[in-house]
Structures are given as structure tokens and as C-alpha cells.
């Protein structure tokens, strides 16, 4: 639920979801429509479908018990390396490394320096670094601390370097000291602007995104009587004429390919 969704939006839905599906069996045997209905309005409804698929796989292949090793967790459809590591670490207290957005940012800045305009390592290399610096027997507390650090002090847009307990050991802070004419947050913003210009970055209004239209489509379908369908040619204009035109253009291209 926390993937690409803020905590304050997730908390009430988390409680509601657990109340509706308190066990893996409840989730696995529910209709997909019922699962999505509870999930709305978090968006990215594929997450709900994936979660139900995992519940069914765990019941069928693991006697209803979620695996406790990264190797087995990765066999679950929709589970990636971060989620597998997080489950092993936080649910089973395994001594394994895992890297989310906050952890990556903190480790990159402390050990490698600024991540803008280009990261110095890829995801695989960052995982190796995370494994190398993992304190023995402290995986649970270590990852909790890194995530808190990334969310509260070493944040993306305006890091509070003056309050950071890792300042003296931070490669990024040492790097930023070369730009003494600028406050540290300004340096990061300037570097980010350079990166955005290089990639011809343009912010897209949310109401023009696929995510926005997916949400509207789901809401419209949920409002229909049970078993009723709506033709694609009718659905598009009811949402947006521009969307309808995009859909029809895409269909024509597919037919002509």
C-alpha cells in the first residue's frame, strides 16, 4: 500500500483492508471486485490484484504461511527484491539488507556523495553496498533508522544537513561544502534543475495522467449494476473526449500494424 502512496492516506485504508480480509484465506477467496472496492481510492489497483494473487499462491504452495527467505519470497508473483528483503527483515528478523527510496538516498549520500545529476551506482551495486555496511545482528533496527533518517532529515528536496548526526561522515555534505556560496538545500535543487533540463523534463498535470484516467474508469465501472457492461466507444467520451480520441487512435494503429 505504501508504494507510491503517502502514509497518511494508507493508514485508514490499511485498517479497513485488514478488517475486510483478516486472513490470507479471506483475501484469497474474495472476489477481485470486492478487493478492489476496499482498495479504492488508493489508486494503482494492480497492487490489490497482485496482493490477492500472492495470497492465493501462498495458500496453494506454502500451506498458508508466507515464506521467510528471500529466495522463496522472490518466487511469489509480484514480489521484488525490496519487498522480499523487507518481509524477511521486518516480519522474520532475518539478517538481510533491503533498499527502498529513502535507504538508497541515505546510503548514497553518506558513502558515495550527491546522487544528482546522476547516481554513482545502479540498483544492484547499491544492494551490494547495503549488504557490506549492514551491522551484524542489527538488520531490523538499522533499516528502521535509515528509513526514518531518509524521511525526516536526509529527505529528497530539502535535506536538514545542519541537524544530521552523520554530517561529519557524509560524503555528500563534504561535496556540498565546495559550494559554500549556496545553502546545502539550494545546491541539491540547482543540481536537480540541471538534471531535469538535460532530460527535457516537463511536469505533467495529474488530470492528464494515465493514473487519473484509470481511477475514473474504475470508479465508473464500480457504479454500474452487477454484470452490466459498457462499450469502449461509450466509455471514452464519458471520461474525456481527448482520451477517447487517444484510445481510438491506438486501436487503429494496432489494427494496421
Provide the Cα torsion 221, 52, 43, 101; round to 10°.
-160
Q: Which residues contact 167 (CB under 8 A, 6 or more apart)?
A: 161, 173
118-129 average pLDDT score: 94
- Listed by start position, the domains of the chain span 7-91, 101-198, 206-256
CA distance 210 to 218: 12
Q: Which of 2-6, 164-168, 222-226 has the highest mean pLDDT?
A: 164-168
pLDDT tens profile 18-33:
999 999 999 999 999 9
pLDDT tens profile 128-172:
999 999 999 999 999 999 999 999 999 988 889 989 999 999 999
- How far is the CA of 61 from the CAs of 42, 55, 71, 81, 224, in angstroms? 29, 10, 14, 20, 36
11-16 average pLDDT score: 94
Predicted confidence band of residue 124 (pLDDT cuts 50, 70, 90)? very high
Query: Mean pLDDT lowest for which of 5-14, 87-96, 134-143, 144-153?
Result: 5-14
Domain 7-91 belongs in CATH node 1.10.340.30: yes
Q: Which CATH architecture has domain 101-198?
A: Orthogonal Bundle (1.10)
Same fold, 7-91 and 101-198: no
Closest CA to 66 of 96, 46, 90, 49: 90
Q: Is the pTM of this model over 0.75?
A: no
Q: What is the DSSP letter of 42?
A: S
End-to-end distance of the chain based on CA atoms, in angstroms?
Answer: 38
Please report where in the chains the cell 549520500 appears, as a residue. Answer: 109
Looking at residue 191, what is its pLDDT?
A: 52
Q: Is 183 exposed, middle or buried (0-12, 13-18, 19+ CB in 10 A)?
A: middle
Query: Mean pLDDT lowest for which of 47-51, 82-86, 189-193?
Result: 189-193
Amino acid at each position: 500500500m505504501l508504494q507510491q502512496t503517502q502514509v497518511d492516506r494508507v493508514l485508514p485504508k490499511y485498517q479497513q483492508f485488514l478488517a475486510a480480509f483478516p486472513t490470507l484465506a479471506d483475501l484469497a477467496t474474495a472476489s477481485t471486485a470486492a478487493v478492489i472496492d476496499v482498495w479504492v481510492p488508493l489508486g494503482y489497483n494492480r497492487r490489490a490484484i497482485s496482493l490477492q494473487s500472492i495470497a492465493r499462491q501462498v495458500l496453494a504452495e506454502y500451506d498458508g504461511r508466507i515464506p521467510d527467505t528471500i529466495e522463496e519470497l522472490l518466487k511469489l508473483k509480484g514480489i521484488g527484491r525490496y519487498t522480499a528483503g523487507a518481509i524477511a527483515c521486518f516480519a522474520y528478523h532475518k539478517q538481510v539488507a533491503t533498499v527502498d527510496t529513502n535507504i538508497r538516498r541515505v546510503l548514497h549520500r553518506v558513502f558515495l556523495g550527491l546522487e544528482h545529476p546522476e547516481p554513482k551506482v545502479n540498483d544492484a551495486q547499491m544492494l551490494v553496498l547495503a549488504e557490506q555496511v549492514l551491522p551484524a545482528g542489527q538488520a531490523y533496527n538499522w533499516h528502521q533508522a535509515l528509513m526514518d533518517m531518509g524521511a525526516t532529515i536526509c529527505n529528497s528536496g530539502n535535506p536538514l544537513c545542519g541537524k544530521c548526526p552523520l554530517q561529519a561522515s557524509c560524503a555528500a555534505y563534504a561535496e556540498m561544502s565546495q559550494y559554500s556560496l549556496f545553502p546545502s538545500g539550494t545546491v541539491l535543487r540547482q543540481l536537480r534543475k540541471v538534471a531535469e533540463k538535460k532530460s527535457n523534463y516537463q511536469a505533467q498535470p495529474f488530470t492528464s495522467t494515465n493514473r487519473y484516467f484509470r481511477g475514473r474508469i474504475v470508479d465508473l465501472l464500480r457504479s454500474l449494476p452487477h454484470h452490466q457492461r459498457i462499450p469502449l466507444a461509450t466509455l471514452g467520451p464519458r471520461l474525456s473526449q481527448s482520451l477517447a480520441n487517444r484510445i481510438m487512435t491506438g486501436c487503429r494503429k494496432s489494427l494496421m500494424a
